[in-house]
A = this chain, B = another copy of it.
């Protein structure tokens, strides 16, 4: 694996090693689904997320805030490649931060553009993005790619292009992506347990709507972390 002076990548590599976990908890809280004690508070969403974070910090390699909050102090931002590299480059000036580029998204409309075959090789657009990211945009080592867990074959194709670049994989948990197939497809060859932030949001955040929400979240996080570890050993 390349050594890297990049803080975000270093943090990830360190977390993969020390936590033994590729689990990433995504914070996209729905105010309607908060436990009742948080609904009434003006800072309820933040307190809820902090309690979930406290209950799962030793089980994850990263936390991922929702888009609207990630510009405020998060370790990484998610960016859309449609406008090209000069709209991504400014985020790379924050040397310690990761920049996560949308590549293959798991929503139903993701194929509208991402699956278009592009010249000169006729490869789908999302693989062209993966090549641009790996070969032209990532001189600083800060870039990761979003690749949905619902398409393990596509994760494998991206991995074959991007070397040891880290991938953010949404779609595990409530969205039902296959953990074994995802881990097999996306891990860095010869470095099991590394290379991905495998995101779970709702399955962990809303494991319980009662007073035991934090313990319930921890329990689901442990189960998911263990399933990821088991898949790594298969």
Residues of A within 8 A of B (CB): 80-89, 102, 105, 107-114, 116-119, 122, 125, 128-129, 132
Is A107 a contact partner of B84 (Cβ separation < 8 A)?
yes
A110 and B83 within 8 A (CB): yes
Would B80 and A109 count as touching, CB distance under 8 A?
no
Q: Note all chain B residues with C-beta closer than 8 A to A84.
A: 105, 107-114
At the interface, is chain A mostly helix, strand, loop or mixed? helix
* Cα separation A89 to B112 with both chains bound (whole Å): 13
Checking B80, B86, B102, B111 against A107 with a beta-carbon cut-off of 8 angstroms, the contacting residue is B86
Q: A81 — which chain B residues lie within 8 A by C-beta?
A: 82, 112-113
Min CB–CB distance A83 → chain B (angstroms): 5
List chain B residues, Cβ under 8 A from A122: 119
Q: Is A82 touching B116 in the complex (CB atoms < 8 A)?
A: no
Residue of chain B at shortest CB distance from A83: B105
B128 touching A116 by the CB < 8 A rule?
Answer: yes
